[in-house]
Structure 1
Amino acid sequence: MTVLILGGTSEAVALDQLLADQAPEIRAVVSLAGHTSDPKPLNLPVRVGGFGGIEGLRHYLIENRVVAVVDATHPFAAIMPFHAEAACKAENVPLIAIRRESWKPRPGDRWRSVPDISAAVETLGKPPRRVFLTVGRLELPAFADAPQHHYLVRVIEPIGDRLPLNGVKVIQQRGPFEADEEEDLMRREGIEILVSKNSGGPATVGKLTAARRLGLPVIMVERPPKPDVATVDHIDQVLPWLVAQGIFVTERGV
């Protein structure tokens, strides 16, 4: 019997370590979408790639005797959470989602919240600006519609030809990023505006602190809708949930 973890986040990495340390008897598999070519190493077995839609995921659940699914996908995963809900409901497999808290504006912040990347591009406006893009490489093509801006792009993976414009500078780094370093970077690059997804979590919140200190406006792309399923906000709540499903019994029986 298998516990399937839909990964791709720091929560999935932490859950991998938690299960390895505290519940090695649980057979779990981490599924990654494959967007990152060099993901962090994990203790648990890993599968990479899609399932082939809802029907493909249903087949996987049956073939691998999956008894529970943990959705630890990225806050901006827009399709897989709904596929997981539908497949688990169809096969009567318990499902729980780990959903980290989103960032909230604080006094001094100059946020403009937008619903999607297209709106973020439009909100940049017509006059040329020096823009710090921290939205991931998959979203970059949309900004080709605003070629007048100078873009500083930070990504984990190479961007290839996703933003083939003059005036694009790419920094390839993996977080976490400290606020002081972010402030120095924005000063050095003459950044006038920050574009960010509202991913939440501590790893990249430093850029928001830096923007607040510098008085810079932030275009904040809000999260897509998620299915209405059972949720927790921390990995420590996953083991008790597995216990409640009868999948894992601790030595103390709690």
Structure 2
Amino acid sequence: MARGHILMQGLEFHQGDSSTSAPAETIWLVSGTGDGPPLAQALLQQGWNVLVSVVSASATRAYRSHPNLRFQVGKLQEDEAVDQLLRTLRPRWVLDASHPFAAVISGRLQRRCQAMNQPLLRLQRETPRLPEGTRIHGIQQLEDLRSIALGGERLLLAIGSRHLQAALRQSSASQHFARILDNPESLRLALAAGFEPQQLACVRPGALPEGAIERALCRRWGITTVLCRQSGGLTQQIWQNLSQELGLQLIQIRLPAEQLPVGLTPEGILRQVGAAQARS
């Protein structure tokens, strides 16, 4: 989909197909490619202008184009980056729908919104029910992987490209494979970790029905064990269902101890923000 882009105060924005926006208030949504697209679409249907913060430009492809949808691309690595966006946007709401393991950005949003009296809502992913017969092993951190006997196993890593090298150091599996996002940085990190091209699948979120790519990869590579994160929501549900369906051993890195306020479901967020009001 075609998008223009501008550079605004050191932060890169990608704009929707039209430069004409309805004179409604803005919601700033910090999210990725899982929870973000349906939530953004629902907010747009309720009349809001939506700015979505994503880490990479490729992540914007998971979102349907809309004239009132914009993107800020890049990591919000400093408090000042958050403050700058809050001053520039003056959003009615900030929605934190970042990954449950992204404790740094969630903490930063919580801290800076509180300091600037900015209303903030946080998405709480639902914990999916564990299908009967699922073989699951929970670990607290990657270092715990070394205590699991994986000799003869074909291990699929679905933990993000930044953690692949650390996982390989701890794993005793006979063969390793990885599912990564389809962007240059993820591929660079995976290759640097020691993966060969034939051991990698670069996946674009939303390209196929949920779970279809993961099922196909497990069958093609003859996967026997999957390492993923206890991230809640649809992604965790997919891996748990495939574990039961294909007889896979599932190793989950447990969610860190909760340090932030309990959030709302997507439905709760939509009820809380309501319909957009025109700016006066």
Q: 2:51 is matched with which residue: 22, 26, 29?
A: 29
Q: Deviations over 1:24-50 (max 9, x none)?
A: xx3331111228466324431111113
Superposition pairs of residues 50-199 of structure 1, within 5 angstroms: 50-119=75-144, 121-125=145-149, 127-145=151-169, 146=171, 149-157=174-182, 159-160=187-188, 161-165=191-195, 169-174=199-204, 176-178=210-212, 182=215, 185-199=217-231
Query: TM-score, with normalisation over the residues of structure 1?
Result: 0.80
Distance in structure 2 (CA, Å) of the matches to 1:91 and 1:111: 43
Give the 3 Å change call, closer, same or farther, for CA 16–186 of structure 1 in structure 2: closer
Q: 2:268 is matched with which residue: 212, 230, 237?
A: 237
Give the 3 Å change call, closer, same or farther, for CA 38–47 of structure 1 in structure 2: closer
Distance in structure 2 (CA, Å) of the matches to 1:205 and 1:113: 15
| Cα drift, residue 191 of structure 1 | 2.2
Supply the AA of the counterpart residue of 2:211: F
Q: What are structure 1's unaligned runs of at least 5 residues?
A: none
Mean Cα deviation higher: 164-173 or 154-163: 164-173
| RMSD, aligned CA | 3.0
Distance in structure 2 (CA, Å) of the matches to 1:178 and 1:198: 20
Identity of aligned residues (%): 22
Distance in structure 1 (CA, Å) of the matches to 2:150 and 2:235: 32
Q: Deviations over 1:146-199 (max 9, x none)?
A: 4763112122225222421569611223452149x72x6535433221111123
Q: Deviations over 1:194-243 (max 9, x none)?
A: 11112333356344323224433211112234443352112x33232124
Aligned length: 241
Query: TM-score, with normalisation over the residues of structure 2?
Result: 0.73
Q: Give the secondary-structure state (helix, strand or coil) at the position aligned to 1:79.
A: helix
Runs of 4+ in 1 over 4 A off after TM superposition: 35-38, 165-168
Q: Give the secondary-structure state (helix, strand or coil) at the position aligned to 1:81.
A: helix
Q: Give the secondary-structure state (helix, strand or coil) at the position aligned to 1:9.
A: coil
| Cα drift, residue 82 of structure 1 | 0.4
Give the 3 Å change call, closer, same or farther, for CA 31–225 of structure 1 in structure 2: farther
Supply the AA of the counterpart residue of 1:16: A
Q: 2:253 is matched with which residue: 221, 224, 227?
A: 221
| Cα drift, residue 99 of structure 1 | 1.9
**C-alpha contact 1:150 1:167 (8 A) present in aligned 2:** no
